[in-house]
Structure 1
Amino acid sequence: MGFREASKFSRIAFGLAVGGFLTDIIGFPTPYWISGVGFSQGLFQTCTILGCIKNPSELLLGWGKAVIAMEILGFLACLGCVVLMVLYVHVKNDQKILQTAATGLAFAAAGFILIGVIIYGSELSGASFGWSFGMTIVSGLFHIGVGVLNVMDKLSPQ
């Protein structure tokens, strides 16, 4: 039992899960979801040339709170997916329940992350989106790949 005994699909899915986790942990908390000249804004803070200030939660609109909730839920599902993929690929290749749970969490993470991105993008459709916004989208797409590869692994003949 170990990484070498895991299937090719599982090893690739593991790499995508780690990549999705890294892009999500870099993308969603950083203040570059919207960027302009001397100005950038994220979910939690707004920055100018003079410095950064925290976005007060009591002033957030309902859609802003929904985006934050979706992104945090997506991050937690992403974290759970990575933990289960580590256990499945490196420790317990024979425990298919770990792979099944990781698949469910991967699709949940992708869903939450991309729903948050869609809400944010639709509310601020005329804005100039920054690299944080793009990295968060990439994270959601990575997690779709993790889920699809795990399903393919489960359906492939051993």
Structure 2
Amino acid sequence: MGFNTTSVWIKVAFICLLLALVLFVIGFATISWMTSYNYALGLWKTKSCYNTIRHYDGRCRTSSITSAWLKLAGWEDWFRATQAFECIGLICLGMALLIMFLFVFVDSMKKRSPLLAVIFFCFGAVLAMVIGFLILGLKLDHLDIGWSMGLAIAGCILTFVAGVMSVIDLKK
């Protein structure tokens, strides 16, 4: 019963989903999705650091991304779409992990249908996340990808690996 009796594929998928959730949540919540020399943009906040004429003085200001801010920047539609897709990805990832947890640790859940649900939610999460990454990356191609988005992408890759491992276990 439990983790010791599951297949290697499911163990790998479970661990990948755990790591994916941690990495994606950290990336999701932090500011550095897109960056430049003195500016960082996250899904929910921005950070601007000010320079004087002669040197960088290190003063930074963090502000929330509001509807008024988005409207002023002309980003209202596509940025909200990015936020929505990343939220959908997070929800799907959480659902995949929850069902996988039940599949691994509850004997009555060791059936085909919960594993199919895990696969559905894994690939749904990956699809939603990738669409969000693409929207943001294509609209802000003048900025660099920051470490926050890098963590979110790593979480997305681990979610994909978990989905593939689940498909392999389903086929055996």
Give the TM-score taking structure 1 as reference length: 0.93
SS at match of 1:46: strand
- Which residue does 2:154 correspond to in 1? 138
SS at match of 2:144: coil
1:66 aligns with 2:66: no
1:57 aligns with 2:67: yes
Task: State the percentage of identical aligned residues.
Answer: 27
SS at match of 1:136: helix
- Which residue does 1:17 correspond to in 2? 17
Q: Tell me how many residue pairs correspond in the alignment.
A: 156
- Which residue does 1:84 correspond to in 2? 99
Amino acid at match of 2:118: A
Question: Hey, what's the Cα distance between the residues in 2 that align with 1:112 and 1:146?
Answer: 16
- Which residue does 2:3 correspond to in 1? 3
* Contact 1:2–1:89 (Cα < 8 Å) also in 2: yes
CA RMSD in angstroms comes to 1.3
In structure 1, stretches of 5+ residues that fail to align are: none
In structure 2, stretches of 5+ residues that fail to align are: 49-58, 71-75
Question: Hey, what's the Cα distance between the residues in 1 that align with 2:67 and 2:164?
Answer: 36
SS at match of 2:137: helix
1:123 aligns with 2:133: no
Amino acid at match of 2:159: H
- Which residue does 2:123 correspond to in 1? 107
Question: Hey, what's the Cα distance between the residues in 1 that align with 2:102 and 2:169?
Answer: 16
Please point out which of 140, 147, 152 is paired with 2:163: 147
Give the TM-score taking structure 2 as reference length: 0.86
State the structure with more CA Rg: 2
Return the structure number with greater strand share: 2
